[in-house]
Structure 1
Amino acid sequence: MELSKVPPHNLEAEQAVLGALMLDPQRASSVFEILQPEDFYRDSYKTLFLAIRDIFERGDPVDLVTVAEELNRAGRLENVGGIAVISELASVVPSAVNAEHYARIVAEKSLLRQLIRMAGYIEEKGYEAEEEAVALLEEAERLILEISQKKTRDGFVSIRTILLKTFDKIEYLYANKGNLTGVPTHFKELDRITSGLQPSDLVIIAARPSMGKTAFVLNIAQNAAVKSNIPVAFFSLEMSKEQLVQRMLCSEAMVDQQRVRTGELLDSDWPKLTQAVGPLAEAPIYIDDTVGISLAELRSKARRLKMERGLGLIIIDYLQLMTVGKRTESRQQEVAQISRGLKGVARELAVPVVALSKLNRG
């Protein structure tokens, strides 16, 4: 009979964190940035950590007596083993100076347990086979992303550090005055105002139906890829990739789309179309026309494209056709969640994201 595996944990590190907090409360702020009560493997240590944090947040002194009193008042002192266990924790700390190091060990084990739980959940769902495989894959990506975001949250950075980077950027801009700092759209006035589409920006282009939104962003995509060789990811949720490329080809060749759609081409159109194929074929434009693509799937595809071929710009046509991959209270809430998610994609991948949005008539 195979024994069940014990989840990753380090009780010695957990004990050292708790003991260090009681011996040297000045370490508390940095430890609380790293750990949450649920990061502890042993339930009694979760209770102790929460009590210490509550005392600290009230501004009261943290020591053996105050922690024991806090737990006794909540009726939980015996749950953690009594005052003898609390005293023992304080005595086994190798060094309170290393509190942050101990906390990171505890956080690392907690992260591994979260991944194991997530994998078990996905395995169970897979065996149940109640969802489509693609939907389950999106759920797995979403769960991994949630764990990753918890792990990589940035803390405070001193203004001195930021000022040094800012001054370096100003010096670079001065030395390269007149050059664009972002992705060029090759619309002269727009580039003058924006200095190009800036990395990490989310740009929403909103208008009523049939106002030329798609034509505009297609021109931006072509200009960035053909003229500046910048890789562009184009997520087309409304038009098929074949329709999209046909419009690009007509635009590049400067041939009337209506004549192409009806087949009533002029003899002079053929050389233009043939000549336009070459530059478009070499342009780093990558099109995905997945209907109702979810935020998680878009993020995953964009991240993979950046790793494999490079990525300088993301375009989405259009916002309201995306999904979040889970139920929300209203469509308005879902669109707001998608917008926040797209801003996260822009920041994570350090590229501008341009999303079209359709306004209602009236």
Structure 2
Amino acid sequence: MNQNYRDPLPSNIEAEQAILGAILINNDALAAVPSTFAMEHFYERLHQFIYDAILRGRAVGKGMNPVTVRSFMAPDAAYEKVGDMTVAQYLARLVSEAVSIRNVADFADAITGYYHRRQAMSIGDDAHDAGTKAEDELQFIDRIKECRDKLTAIVASIESRNDPQETLADTIDTSLDRTNDAVRGAAPVGIDPGIPEIMTLTGPWQRKQLIIIGGGVKQGKTALAMQCMFNLAEKMPVGLNSGEMSRTQIVMREKARRTGISSTRQLRGTVSDNEVEELLWAGEEMKRLQHIDIDCRRMTLDQIDQKITRLIGEHGIEAFFLDHIGKIQWTGKMEYEDEFKQGQRATSILKDMAQKHDIPIIALTHLKKSTFQDYQGRTFKERLSAAMNRRPTYRDLVGNMDKDADQVLVVFQARPIVAGMEPAENSDDYPVWEDAMNRVTGRADIILSLSRESEFPRRKEIEWDGKSTSYGPPYKQAMNARELF
């Protein structure tokens, strides 16, 4: 047996022996071990082998005791010497000296605490190496960021470990309290995305929910998500990973929503002195929002998970936006899968993340390429009508909506589709097309296509301003209306 527990590295060998002895006395004690506890939390290498053997034996329905454990251990570990004892003698000693099976959770907590301390010391060594061995500043920054992310993960793990465990009775009481608060108007049950049409469809967004916003190209799904994000940031810190736009584009779009001055005009500088003042005012107003973290790198799902962990630890974000599922960076075998399988994998893991981090995750996804094809009709008018009235459903979206999503919103605008059907200007069909364009311009539908909380499918028509890429009434008008209430 490795005797290096006398080295300075922090450990609690007694707790490790106690938890193994308790489990060997009564295998049912495993149920009290936290789900986050893992074999690598043990400091002593032999204890890791013993615990792993117990888990593998129980997985196939075997009763694990000092005799049967050895058959699930690798030969080199099973015949290792523990001082003057054999492994068999050591296992028997663990059982004979076991204190209590009632304290298994406390033993696991103590072991995990020392594991976190060793992790922190190892990260300190990594930081020292980064300072002394990094070849240039960029490599130094990358390595220090890795250290920071690891430390943040430790803090988050410790905090979740110390959170009081809520019983079913506690959860029932809490849910009733929240409902009573909502009835009295004391507090909303969830968060308000700031767009009345969405609130009507979905109700307040809840923690642990995966909310999908889908739509076709140029249908306005990103605009809808960004509008919700900036609305939320008035009251809470939020995070965003965007593979679609740069930070500058996102900020300019939000300034366009607040001022009515399009981002195109902002970029070209075709604005008056008064409009410059308006843009400055909008910028100052945005600076007063809660923390918004905007990361425009393509990231893997693991990197997104680590990012959320860090943002919760450092800023306490209460919602995270991903734009979009098609921009996730894949590695390994998934890199070569089609978008359908990638989408299924993405929504499954994103739902797990929402549950793990206890926040809503709002993820964008696009429609399958075949959604807006082959409009049927003998005449141009019939084909035009088919294009205007076809509404996508959650089945048209990339990802596994039935299984993973709590709410699925689909944005639909007929205008880009109708615009693409423009006939020759001097044709008989042109007046029909022109009339259709007048009817669809400035309008959009938000469709609740799937929901675990509300009746679906339902839809709400909403105003759309293409120049400012915004939904609903103009920003100032909406703010004035809000102040009246």
Fold conserved between structures, TM > 0.5: yes
CA distance in 2, matches of 1:261, 1:242: 10
Cross-structure match for 1:162: 171
Give yes or no for contact 1:68–1:77 (8 Å, CA) kept in 2: no
1:243 paired residue among 246, 249, 252:
249
Q: Structure 1's 351 and 79: CA in aligned 2 closer, same or farther, altered over 3 A?
A: closer
Unaligned runs of 5+ in 1: none
Q: Structure 1's 97 and 264: CA in aligned 2 closer, same or farther, altered over 3 A?
A: closer
CA distance in 2, matches of 1:92, 1:16: 8
Query: Structure 1, residues 191-217: CA drift from partner, whole Å, max 9, x if none?
Result: 112223333333232223322233323
Q: Structure 1's 271 and 299: CA in aligned 2 closer, same or farther, altered over 3 A?
A: closer
1:136 equivalent in alignment to 2:136? no
Residue type at the aligned position of 1:112: R
1:213 equivalent in alignment to 2:221? yes
Give yes or no for contact 1:14–1:45 (8 Å, CA) kept in 2: yes
CA distance in 2, matches of 1:302, 1:261: 31
1:16 equivalent in alignment to 2:18? yes
Helix, strand or coil at the partner of 2:15: helix
Give yes or no for contact 2:194–2:231 (8 Å, CA) kept in 1: yes
Query: Which residues in structure 2 correspond to 1:19-58 (within 5 Å)?
Result: 19-31=21-33, 36-53=38-55
Give yes or no for contact 2:11–2:115 (8 Å, CA) kept in 1: yes
Identity of counterpart residues, as a percentage?
Answer: 19
Cross-structure match for 2:117: 112
Residue type at the aligned position of 2:180: E
Give yes or no for contact 2:149–2:310 (8 Å, CA) kept in 1: no
Cross-structure match for 1:71: 70
Cross-structure match for 1:85: 90
CA distance in 2, matches of 1:340, 1:52: 30
1:171 equivalent in alignment to 2:180? yes
Give yes or no for contact 1:254–1:272 (8 Å, CA) kept in 2: no
CA distance in 2, matches of 1:348, 1:61: 32
Shift of 1:9: 2.7
Query: Which residues in structure 2 correspond to 1:88-103 (within 5 Å)?
Result: 88-95=93-100, 97-103=102-108
Give yes or no for contact 1:183–1:312 (8 Å, CA) kept in 2: no
CA distance in 1, matches of 2:231, 2:34: 49
Shift of 1:133: 3.5
Shift of 1:330: 0.8
Residue type at the aligned position of 1:246: M
Give yes or no for contact 2:240–2:322 (8 Å, CA) kept in 1: yes
CA distance in 2, matches of 1:211, 1:73: 57
Q: Could you say which structure has the higher helix fraction?
A: 1
1:357 equivalent in alignment to 2:357? no
Unaligned runs of 5+ in 2: 371-485
Shift of 1:190: 1.3
Q: Structure 1's 305 and 250: CA in aligned 2 closer, same or farther, altered over 3 A?
A: farther
CA distance in 2, matches of 1:287, 1:38: 33
CA distance in 1, matches of 2:134, 2:263: 49
Query: Structure 1, residues 16-45: CA drift from partner, whole Å, max 9, x if none?
Result: 333334445553432485754444333444
Helix, strand or coil at the partner of 2:211: strand
CA distance in 1, matches of 2:42, 2:280: 66
State the superposition RMSD in angstroms.
4.6
CA distance in 2, matches of 1:96, 1:349: 31
Helix, strand or coil at the partner of 1:197: coil
Cross-structure match for 2:259: 253
Q: Structure 1's 321 and 267: CA in aligned 2 closer, same or farther, altered over 3 A?
A: same
CA distance in 2, matches of 1:221, 1:73: 52
Cross-structure match for 2:402: none
Q: Structure 1's 329 and 138: CA in aligned 2 closer, same or farther, altered over 3 A?
A: farther
Query: Structure 1, residues 258-311: CA drift from partner, whole Å, max 9, x if none?
Result: 55454444788567657655644544463635443552664266336624xxx4
Give yes or no for contact 2:259–2:278 (8 Å, CA) kept in 1: yes
1:189 paired residue among 169, 173, 197:
197
CA distance in 2, matches of 1:297, 1:57: 30
Residue type at the aligned position of 2:227: N
Residue type at the aligned position of 1:136: R
Residue correspondences, number: 350
43-52 or 125-134, larger mean C-alpha shift = 125-134
Query: Structure 1, residues 97-147: CA drift from partner, whole Å, max 9, x if none?
Result: 544433433333334344445555676677375983444345445655776
Shift of 1:252: 1.6
Query: Which residues in structure 2 correspond to 1:230-309 (within 5 Å)?
Result: 230-265=236-271, 276=282, 279-284=285-290, 286=292, 288=294, 290-292=296-298, 294-295=303-304, 298-299=307-308, 302-303=311-312, 306-307=315-316
Helix, strand or coil at the partner of 1:132: helix
CA distance in 2, matches of 1:149, 1:283: 25
Q: Structure 1's 18 and 188: CA in aligned 2 closer, same or farther, altered over 3 A?
A: closer
Give yes or no for contact 2:190–2:206 (8 Å, CA) kept in 1: yes
